Amino acid sequence: MIADAIESLVDKKGFKVKVFPGSEGHFELAANDTATLVAFLLRRQRKKHGLSLKEVAKRLGASSHNAYARYEQGSSVPTVEMLFRLLSAVSPDNNFVLHETGS
């Protein structure tokens, strides 16, 4: 059900999400298109917190919002470390657990 909801919100042909149960009511997500999943997550968190692209760039210490915008557009895929920084900028009060798995 979670996968269906995310796939519907993303609304990109061929985009598929897998949901893996975690502990204590948490879950993990995987997608066949990492850039699209990351873009969706960043955009949703930024909008949820009422931030503009310019405000996020400022929080990241960047002079231009273009670099951040590329992540939200899915044209760039951040490293795990950079994704943590990006999520901290758009959603500083939330805790995210990020880890990279092998292909």
Give the residues across from 20 on adjacent strands: 28
21-37 pLDDT tens trace: 878 888 888 899 989 99
H helix runs in 11-77, sequence order: 34-48, 53-59, 66-73
Distance of CA 99 to the CA centre of its chain: 13
Domain 2-90, CATH class in plain words: mainly alpha
Is a pLDDT exceeding 70 seen at residue 100? no
What is the tens place of the pLDDT at every residue in 55-85?
A: 999 998 887 888 889 999 999 888 888 888 8
Q: Where are the beta strands (DSSP E) in 1-103?
A: 17-21, 27-31
Cβ 18 vs Cβ 29: under 8 Å: yes
Answer whether 0.85 is exceeded by the pTM: no
